[in-house]
Amino acid sequence: MKHEAMMKAVVLRAFGEPEVLEYGEVPRPAPRPGEVLIEIRCCGVCHLDLILRKGMRSRVKPPRIIGHELAGTVAEVGEGVEGFAPGDRVASFNFQACGVCEDCLRGRPSLCRQTHGDIGQTRDGGYAQYACLLQGNLVKLPEGMPFEHACFGACVFAPPYKAIRHVGQIRAGQSVVITGASGGLGLAAIQIVRALGARSIAITGSQGKVEALRAAGADEVVVSPDGAFGEQVRGLTGGRGVDLVVELIGSPTFDGAMRSLAPGGRCAVIGELHGTPVSINLGLVILKEWEIRGVQSATRDELAEVLGFMHEHRIEPVVWQKLPLAQAAQAHRLLGDREAIGRILLVP
């Protein structure tokens, strides 16, 4: 009987404007072998969701329930599932690497080209009351960690965490420039830097974001609509520059990022919004021994580490709006207008 139960969900019926997100009742999924049924407590709305809704990624075939930033409670486990039981509190990790390709075997699963279980793309995701996910997509929450914090672990906190801790190896007393600081990842980066006892210099293009950046914990805020902030950053660091740049904008700010680096500094590139080629002074790269490193997604193990770090340091994601699931289309409109500071959360 229970497998004929229904649930509320937002289904992407076709590609297009936010109206294509249709709220209604659909059959509740039942876990197949290796799958876990999650009762969803909340799901973040991501810029990727807007891209998928518009049909700009071929992997999604409507009808599809999108949303990959979900957290909730295990309701039921399928045959052969080990390590999860009903009642466990979990958050999702976007995809599952194949585990057998050359990149997976050398410990770089974020480079795997044969991923599966892409939540909200090749399988139904988080804009619903329930979702069936592969057990490899799930990470247990630290004791007492709120769902509304945990759902942002994989997509919002893990990339800057990887940039700051694993690429930058930032310690107390060091300094970090964050470009595009008022976006979700930028605010997360500010919070991570602060938790480590390091100093953050937040770069934003808009005067109107200064207050919010200070409220999020930025030590310095530089308003730079044209990306030429290198001089100011050196001025703020006694002429030396910073140990790490977390580059969330990409080509428009990359020159400023390079000019901000101290000798031996690193630039972790997480975002590229424009896709324009940049020029680099290789003489300086040699003389200063700079390192430039791309950061894609974290791994599932790194997500567990990030959740532990967030919980230990009492980091609360900046949630801009909390909306009921039925208002998913409205959430997409709000995020599309780019006025948001912080994230939007859907609650079933």
Q: Which residues bind Zn ion (CB under 5 A)?
A: 46, 48, 69, 97-98, 101, 104, 112, 155
The alpha carbon of 16 is separated from its chain's Cα centroid by a whole number of angstroms, namely 24
Name the DSSP letter for residue 173: T
Length of the chain: 348
Q: Identify which of residues 63 and 99 has a Cβ nearer to Zn ion in the complex.
A: 99
Pairing of strands 138-140, 175-178: unpaired
C-alpha distances in Å from residue 319, one per residue of 113, 177, 187, 341: 32, 23, 11, 8
Query: Which of 97, 170 has the CB closer to Zn ion?
Result: 97
Nearer to Zn ion, 158 or 196 (CB): 158
Identity of the residue, 49 or 243, whose beta carbon is nearer to Zn ion in the bound complex: 49
Minimal distance, residue 166 CB to Zn ion, in Å: 20
Nearest approach in angstroms of CB 208 to Zn ion is 25
**CB of 129 vs Zn ion, minimal distance in Å:** 20
Shortest distance (Å) from residue 56 CB to Zn ion: 15
Q: Is the dihedral of CA 179, 201, 151, 138 positive or negative?
A: positive
Cβ of residue 177: shortest distance to Zn ion, in angstroms? 24
In the complex, minimum distance from the CB of residue 234 to Zn ion, in angstroms, rounded to a whole number = 34
Write out the E strands in the chain.
6-12, 21-27, 35-45, 69-77, 89-92, 130-134, 138-140, 175-178, 199-204, 220-223, 242-247, 261-269, 291-294, 319-324, 343-347
Q: Nearest distance from residue 47's CB to Zn ion, in Å? A: 7
Q: Which residue is nearest to Zn ion (CB)?
A: 46
Q: Judged by CB, which is closer to Zn ion: 68, or 311? A: 68
In angstroms and rounded to an integer, the radius of gyration of the C-alpha atoms of the chain is 21
Structure tokens at 14: 């076709």
Of 3 and 113, CB closest to Zn ion = 113
Q: Pick from 43, 15, 285, 274: which is nearest to 155 by CA?
A: 43
C-beta of 70 vs 181, nearer to Zn ion:
70
DSSP 37-49: EEEEEEEEE-HHH
Instruction: Show Cβ contacts of residue 26 under 8 Å, excluding neighbours closer than 6 positions.
Output: 6, 7, 9, 11, 65, 128
